[in-house]
Chains A and B, each alone.
Chain A
């Protein structure tokens, strides 16, 4: 299936949960937050929430930053 991940189209295996997707991407789930079609997914639900073809997903984490960093462009 194809999803939009952090603004970029990406083909991933079918039938993944959010947790499965993170594992597939080699991302440690504890240190990130996930938005699925504009809705924040609770950490406890990573293993339950299914990822579907066409989903728009944002995976974010904390980075060095203070009062202001460069403008970010959210892509739908």
Chain B
């Protein structure tokens, strides 16, 4: 599997499991979970520096940017304007031009506002950023995002943090057939089998946070996710058997006694 690398805009990714760094107990747990997951991509949020209390430890003291690709996101932004501002700041604070673009449309579902997403993506692509958009599982929107220059699309599996798993595999399949860029399932997976399903379908990677950080034992779950991705990817490459309604014998019928 070593040669099975994911490449987006010339950037090579060793791992097909990408993980968020939010909701952990502390930085030490974040670090251990990330190590256990085997990932080389971690997402981070962009937030105001605490001017009064600067003594706080920094996430980057625990997550070495030389070891991991830091993928800033625009999580928490509800307008195209705020998302653009946040992404532009992230690009200046970071090392790469990679940004995960989120424009949230509603607090209860955290579903993306696709109209604002497309608008923000257009602006940021023009500014030279590598925009990875978090979108709903809508093939038409996926195509629009690719048409304006997004080098990958990140459709949701289910609402963020819901753990519901792949809610609409048929839409994901249509997205996979509609656009010819890497598809990274983002948000909503709950456990290792969810991740494996996404990968078996042919998705290129999975990004998750809560499923690991919220598990009873985040370190164990991080490792489970690692194997889920590997198993799913291998199964996809191996090519599964077709589903049939009736049995097909797996033992030879010749030489049965009494025949």
Contacts and interface: CB of A to CB of B under 8 A. Distances in A.
A72 to B, nearest CB: 4
A55 interface: no
Query: Is chain B's interface secondary structure helix, strand, loop, or mixed overall?
Result: mixed
Interface string A16-58: 0000000001110001111100101111000000000000001
B207 A67 contact: yes
Given A64-B21, A65-B21, A66-B209, A40 B59 contact: no
B85 A38 contact: yes
A62 B60 contact: yes
B205 to A, nearest CB: 14
B19 A66 contact: yes
Interface residues of B, number: 51
4 closest pairs, A vs B, by CB?
A: A66-B20, A65-B45, A66-B209, A33-B93
Interface of B: 19-24, 27, 30, 43-49, 51, 54, 58-60, 70, 72-73, 75-78, 82, 85-86, 88-94, 102, 104, 107, 110, 134, 160-161, 186-187, 207-210, 213
8 contacts: A25-B51, A35-B85, A43-B92, A62-B70, A65-B45, A67-B210, A68-B104, A72-B47
